[in-house]
């Protein structure tokens, strides 16, 4: 069957038929281009994912991989920068690399971030991306990449303190610290993010510090420390140690145990 008309056949068609034919051709070309872009992107990611960076950890090669993936992810719209003040060209940065020691494996988690030019207002948060590199017999390779995963920070800058901890069997958690000061009261928080079924989830948020040092009253301070207990099926249990102090003297010490319920960490008492 012949799908492409001859020149003589095309001349005999009515105007609506010609327009319909042209629309079909344009649609087919657009579809082919879209599929080609998807295939090339998948090939690029697969190539980067399987590439052995080096026998020894090489941060320069890791930087190249991270920046390449951040750039290939897309433009401002794909990153979610749609505000009128976020239309400037994108800039990509490496924040840091964190060593994660599992029981029988070593992992290095890299965090990068993306911002548009002149992105410097109080609520202007960078888009954080997370990359996990694993060590094999042949060398280091990129295991997983989670691009445009977390919105965190302010004034176009990422959070000043981030930790990456092993919170389960070959599972890491990104711990983002934040804080504020209001009317003489200082508070700090820790939020733990984990990747569940290729989606980022905030699985625990707790206040880790508070004080009234700026109020002029008797100095009071509350501190919460997070301790990992290597018990649990996939995710480890967590212990939250709360310490209350009055005039720099410890007056209370409370320990609460948390378990992962499949979606987030909850107190053990709420599971029983």
Q: Residue 122: what pLDDT?
A: 83
- Cα–Cα distance, 193 to 180 (Å, whole number): 20
- Cα–Cα distance, 15 to 22 (Å, whole number): 11
Beta-carbon contacts of 219 under 8 Å, excluding residues fewer than 6 positions away, are 211, 212, 213, 246, 247, 248
pLDDT band at residue 96 using 50, 70 and 90 as cut-offs: very high
6, part of any domain? no
pLDDT band at residue 211 using 50, 70 and 90 as cut-offs: confident
CA 7, 12, 18, 20 torsion-angle sign: negative
92, part of any domain? yes
1, part of any domain? no
104, part of any domain? yes
Q: Structural domain tally of the chain?
A: 1
86, part of any domain? yes
Between CA 208 and CA 204, with CA 186 as vertex, the angle to 5 degrees is 25
pLDDT band at residue 38 using 50, 70 and 90 as cut-offs: low
Dihedrals φ, ψ of 51, to 5°?
A: -70, 130
> Distance between the two ends of the chain, CA-based, in angstroms?
70
260, part of any domain? yes
265, part of any domain? yes
5, part of any domain? no
Q: Residue 49: what pLDDT?
A: 47
Domain residue limits at 48 = 15-271
Tokens representing residue 233 in the block: 């099926």
């Amino acid at each position: 069957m012949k799908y492409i008309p001859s020149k003589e056949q095309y001349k005999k068609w009515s105007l609506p038929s010609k327009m319909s034919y042209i629309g079909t051709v344009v649609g087919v070309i657009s579809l082919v281009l879209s599929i080609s872009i998807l295939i090339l992107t998948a090939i690029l990611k697969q190539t980067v994912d399987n590439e052995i960076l080096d026998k020894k950890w090489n941060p320069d090669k890791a930087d190249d991989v991270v920046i390449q993936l951040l750039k290939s992810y897309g433009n401002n719209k794909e990153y979610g920068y749609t505000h009128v003040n976020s239309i400037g060209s994108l800039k990509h940065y490496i924040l840091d690399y964190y060593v994660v020691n599992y029981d029988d494996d070593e992992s290095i988690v890299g965090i990068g971030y993306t911002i548009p030019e002149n992105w410097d207002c109080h609520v202007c948060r960078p888009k954080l991306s997370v990359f996990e590199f694993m060590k094999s017999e042949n060398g280091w390779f990129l295991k997983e990449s989670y691009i445009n995963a977390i919105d965190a920070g302010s004034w176009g800058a990422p959070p000043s303190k981030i930790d990456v901890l092993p919170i389960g069997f070959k599972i890491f958690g990104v711990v983002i610290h934040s804080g504020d000061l209001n009317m003489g009261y200082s508070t700090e928080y820790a939020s733990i993010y984990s990747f569940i079924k290729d989606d980022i989830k905030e699985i625990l948020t707790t206040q880790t510090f508070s004080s009234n040092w700026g109020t002029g009253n008797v100095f009071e301070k509350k501190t919460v420390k997070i301790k990992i207990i290597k018990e649990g099926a996939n995710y480890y249990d967590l212990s939250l140690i709360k310490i209350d102090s009055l005039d720099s003297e410890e007056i209370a010490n409370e320990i609460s145990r948390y378990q992962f319920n499949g979606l987030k960490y909850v107190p053990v008492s709420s599971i029983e």
